Amino acid sequence: MRRGVESVAFALWQRNRIGLWIVLGYWAAFSASLGLFGRRASAEALAIGILFVLLSYLFLVAVFIHQDSDVAAARSSYPSYMFTLPVKTSRLVLVPMILGTVIVFAFCFVLAASARHSGANIPLFWPAALATTFIAALQAIFWFPWGVPYAKLVLTMAVIALLSTGTGVALNASVPEWAICSALSAIAGASYMTAYLGVARARRGENRDIVSIRESARVRRPVKAKAAFRSATQAQVWYELRQHGILLPAIAAILCGLFYIPTVWDTTISPIYGLGPDAEGKVPLISTYVMAYYPALLMLLPCAAWVIGCGLKRSDVKRGDRTFQLFYGTRPMSDADLVGAKLKATAISTLCAWAIVLVFSLPILNMRGGSMNIRTNMFLSQDDRIHSVLAPFLDRQVLLLGFSAVLLLALMTWRNYAIGFWTELSGKLWLRYAYPIAFGIGYALIVVWGTQRSPDGGHSTATMFETIFIGIWIALLAKLAISVWLVVKEKRTGLLRPSALAWSGAFFVTGAAVFVATLLLLSQSLRQSMVSAQIGSPLVVDSTAIALFLLWTPLTRILAAPLMLSINRHRSR
């Protein structure tokens, strides 16, 4: 038994030892800093520290559910190569689950104790119990062969929502901490049993999905031959959509479904001052919950696209040996065409996701609304429908701003979905994991730098903006220089044909123009306020905004994708 436990633990440690050392070191350093300097630390430093705590927690989740897990798979995601170990199924299940529980609980407990030592009023036990219950529940979800594609995605989002909401309700109801921890422990225990049953079934070969079982049980009938694809590119786009095209629309549908659940208990309405008042001093009233959380729903979709684009999807790259499936590498397509097919598939997936969000948003228009006179602070009506309340305030300017906001969010979603392809196609596992981490560190450094104070204790806004202006233009010029170098290199090596280069250039110029125009329209009031506050001249403020938008627009990372694919696809070993 001891050898079995050691072999499973050694397999986990050997594969993730570098990341685990980094996480262990960071959590120890942050806990010590929190206990010693917590009272004197700035809010920005604490926020950044907590951000990396969350990132390291997500890494631990990936380690203990096994990072090869496929969220779209109908079968168990427990690594099948470990089924050949001369170890009981209970060892295969309990070792990673107990290790995950003990390590995460210990980390969270030490962090809470350090925060309490520095004077913060933070509970010791229920945050650690909630974090360990999350891991146990995810292990059960990913290791059980549910038999339905994307069942893991639906169950994951449902469990996260239910555990978070349930814990929040219990805290608001002043339920004792021991009772919350007991309930979470019971859920973790049920997760242990579910995970064991799932791995046992998968190890016995009971791993077939419901769709294949139904198809094998049907009476074989003559199958009509479908029309052949007109080109290899069209076939590849179809394949990419089958691989992961449904993931983002499924997440959009789940988020919309979860969004409507709390509306059952929401009975309050609040004014929208941004649309009024009209000549009579009237402003519209809509649901308080919708006004507070509907913008968050719209912003969650670009965030989900970034998570998917950085690796949470099916891939043709084997994560174990970082090579391509042979079927992928031998397709009669150039590297640029393969990347182009991926970009087209992401565009289709993005359009479907936003179509689902817009359709699911229609019932909001029929929810309860009203109007209020802000001069007298009296409610004029409270039982109207939102569509009738908002109609008088929706002039051409408001509709244009609304359309621009939706268009911008859709472009953000596609951009976040596509910018991670260059790391995926590189075949370098360390780059795929390091990229989102570096992305988070970069944003954290920007926040720290942007919140620095001048020696007299105040914000030197004008000087800071001049520094930002110079830094943004230097970064933009560097980005354009790298992009030109990539274009020249890929043209010389034959990765980019002149026709593809012309089409891609026209697409980028058009997209960037629409993107910049949309953002300029939405940021008009912000830029005017900056000029009024004498932060910068209109020329400097507008040119900074344009440079920032162009810097954020995807170009270099998309151009790097065919080169990375070529290196990985045609390497000799």
Q: What is the pLDDT along the chain (573 residues), one digit of tens a residue?
A: 555 567 777 777 877 788 788 888 888 888 888 777 766 666 666 777 777 788 788 888 888 887 666 777 778 888 877 888 788 888 888 888 998 899 889 888 888 888 887 777 788 888 889 999 999 999 999 888 888 777 887 888 888 888 888 888 888 888 888 888 999 999 999 999 999 998 888 888 776 655 555 555 555 566 666 778 888 888 888 888 888 888 889 889 888 888 888 887 777 888 888 777 777 778 888 888 888 888 888 998 998 888 888 766 666 665 544 556 666 667 788 888 888 888 999 999 999 999 999 999 999 888 888 888 887 777 777 778 888 888 888 888 888 888 888 888 998 899 889 888 888 887 776 777 777 777 767 666 666 665 555 444 444 566 777 777 888 888 889 988 998 898 888 888 877 777 777 887 888 888 888 888 888 888 888 888 888 887 878 888 888 888 888 888 888 888 888 888 888 777 644
Residues 484, 474: Cα–Cα separation, whole Å? 15
Among 200, 229, 202, which Cα is nearest to 91's? 200
pLDDT score at 109: 87
| Exposure of 304 in the CB half-sphere (CA atoms within 13 A) | 24
pLDDT score at 573: 47
pLDDT score at 448: 60
Cβ-in-10-Å burial (0-12, 13-18, 19+) of 136 comes to buried
Residues 415, 184: Cα–Cα separation, whole Å? 38
| 1: three-class secondary structure by DSSP | coil
Residues 552, 443: Cα–Cα separation, whole Å? 13
Contacts with 37 (C-beta within 8 Å, 6 or more apart), sequence order: 118
The DSSP secondary-structure symbol of 533 reads T
Residues 276, 411: Cα–Cα separation, whole Å? 29
Among 129, 254, 133, which Cα is nearest to 194's? 133
pTM, to two decimals: 0.77
Residue 303, Cβ neighbours under 10 Å: how many?
A: 13
Residues 141, 137: Cα–Cα separation, whole Å? 6
Q: How many residues does the chain have?
A: 573
